[in-house]
Amino acid sequence: MSEIPWWSLPLVAAVFALAGAGVTVLMSARDDYVRSRAKRTRRWYTERRDAYVALLTQFERATYRLRSALETGQRMPGPYTYVDEVGPALMQVRLLASGQVRSAALAVHLLLEKLYGERPAPRAGVDPEKSLREMLGHVPLVMQQLEAAVREELGIQATPPLPPVDTSPRSLRSYLRRGVPLARTGGSGDDRVN
């Protein structure tokens, strides 16, 4: 007769069943966490990218409007026009962006606000239109700093990723088809393909 009590087999089975159920619940919770974290990361990236694109578009429109008004001799748009158009996009960036992007966006905003606002009296001997053109010429330079900060925050690379490296082992036939001599492949001169 065996010295194992009759109730030990059902007890061991129940312990292993509970352990299996516990592991299943833990793995399911871990997978849900990873999935939700990936979704949050994707949403974070999308929200910021959309906000930055909207703001850069508004800045470009404002710059173009100033430049075309200056070149055609039309009346310059008022400051409220600029604030009404750029304000919502700028507020969204101010809420979502990191400190570096926020300060670069505010630098562009302040420069454009000066151009749309009251024109400061230029120094004696300086043409007021020339002074305005010089300030307008600084806008693309400040915009470049904003674009660089956005690229850094979003991790946008200027170069495309490298193609994947082929690590599959090559057969002797593939080297012969390409015309690579056998000495380079490490094969001996006696290797012949039939």
The predicted-structure confidence for 85-140, as pLDDT tens digits, reads as follows 898 999 999 888 888 999 999 999 998 888 887 665 656 666 666 677 788 888 88
Task: Identify whether 72 is part of a domain.
Answer: yes
Task: Identify whether 11 is part of a domain.
Answer: no
Q: Are 136 and 66 in contact (CB under 8 A)?
A: yes
Q: What integer pLDDT is reported at residue 128 of this predicted model? A: 63
Q: What integer pLDDT is reported at residue 17 of this predicted model? A: 92
* Mean pLDDT, residues 2-21 taken together: 87
Q: How far apart are CA 20 and CA 11, in angstroms?
A: 14
Total domains present in the chain: 1
* Mean pLDDT, residues 12-35 taken together: 91
* Mean pLDDT, residues 173-185 taken together: 60
pLDDT band for position 71 (cuts 50, 70, 90)? confident
Task: Identify whether 80 is part of a domain.
Answer: yes
Q: What integer pLDDT is reported at residue 52 of this predicted model? A: 92
Range list of β-strands (E), the chain? none
Q: How far apart are CA 186 and CA 184, in angstroms?
A: 5
Task: Identify whether 193 is part of a domain.
Answer: no
Q: How far apart are CA 104 and CA 55, in angstroms?
A: 12
Helix (H) or strand (E) holding 86: helix 79-96
Task: Identify whether 194 is part of a domain.
Answer: no
Q: What's the pTM value of the predicted model, to 2 decimals?
A: 0.63
Task: Identify whether 191 is part of a domain.
Answer: no
Residue 84 sits in which domain range? 16-185
* Integer angstrom CA distances of residue 170 from 177, 181, 186: 11, 14, 12
pLDDT band for position 169 (cuts 50, 70, 90)? low
Neighbours of 13 (CB within 10 A): 10
Task: Identify whether 5 is part of a domain.
Answer: no
Task: Identify whether 38 is part of a domain.
Answer: yes
